[in-house]
Structure 1
């Protein structure tokens, strides 16, 4: 069942007033200024609570005081417009959440890399503290690591220094 125009007006008046951040007292003050007569804020309260009917001149002045067309306070089209805006905002929110998740994952990867590098640095520093400078020159690699390093260095050892510096020469 469709709401009566007075009921629709009362609901829309409250929604628009709140959306615009206007108190009932401020709306009453604005209406009184436009109306040229006293408008009590309790009248706005009773209209919005639907315990008092709104007069046509009050409806026109209320819309003017809020700076919106009277049709906005009488039309249920706002609900459809509102729904479209909600859908648009939900789509935008979904995109923002996807971007946030990508950034969260990137932050996690960077943090993990920093943790690993920090642990390696600390292990190196700890090892460096344990090495006796007097015998540091006598340090030998384990045989497997030494063989791997030698295998990579053998082709380079026989080349002249100029050729190593400029391999295209």
Structure 2
């Protein structure tokens, strides 16, 4: 029996399950995204001194449908699930990125994404530099071959000064 493949590790150090593997069940200490959203929504709303009624009104403007302050209360108490369009509307109504409402540490996650992108950029720059070098080499070769062709054409053409022609 062959050993199972190792899990994939991203540049940020997080481990992904091997391809095709079932996701690991959430540990009892894992916080679900809906729980994070509820916690972070309340924290951000209170930090901005926005009432549940005011947040609901702002969200209603963006969504074009009635939300109501009781829906905000129930979302924050985790007795009502939040729909994706409501989550987006709440983030916009509070003027924050959606990721800040669904992440435990959005600053750290953002920094990890920046570092991964910088690593990708460094690789792309190296590839670009190698391609630029190949372009320069190919351009010089084409120039050399073109000069040789001109010389060959001149050498193979009968000369007007040649009396045997």
What range is the shorter-chain TM-score in? 0.3 to 0.5
If the length of structure 2 is used for normalisation, what is the TM-score? 0.47
Q: Which has the higher helix share?
A: 1
